[in-house]
Chains A and B, each alone.
Chain A
Amino acid sequence: TQLLEQSPQFLSIQEGENLTVYCNSSSVFSSLQWYRQEPGEGPVLLVTVVTGGEVKKLKRLTFQFGDARKDSSLHITAAQTGDTGLYLCAGDWDTNAGKSTFGDGTTLTVKP
């Protein structure tokens, strides 16, 4: 069973601060996704990374995929209260399987 570890599990910061969330596996991902999930709702895809070393930006969010495709990070610059939520990474290890294995998630709280 391939495992995917996210850290930290909980993060509480003040508005305006920067933060980084990490996602790691011992196996090489074929692709990795970052999602945001609000309570009682389904995960909403933020980004998919496929190429080792890839960096994608979505406004104040920067996503990096490790060169070896075993790890990824999500960095938020100047966090806002609206960024509060559960951030999930999910990885695919088999390009033909079509399934994703999710991490436990990072619960982010941004305080005003």
Chain B
Amino acid sequence: GAGVSQSPRYKVAKRGQDVALRCDPISGHVSLFWYQQALGQGPEFLTYFQNEAQLDKSGLPSDRFFAERPEGSVSTLKIQRTQQEDSAVYLCASSLSGTSGSGGEQFFGPGTRLTVL
């Protein structure tokens, strides 16, 4: 079956532009996560959805970052007024489990590489 897909795969933005990154999770997966991976580092958690509810947004670095999952399936991560420090790979993951603390396996998409000039 299809895995997690993300689009676009690459995005170049000028500083100050707004960008929107899309994630299509595996069908039927309850949980959806966004991570940010800076060059040469491990991924860092941004936000988590259980169905359409955003249960944890503690990792969002500023109020310029906004995520939504209005119908409990596709999710969009939006970054307003992009800055150079936003340059990173943005990874989306989905998990069948919705139970907090269950540690259900997360399946990752290929990521979107964002470069802010």
B is a partner of A: no
* B-to-A contact residues, CB < 8 Å: none
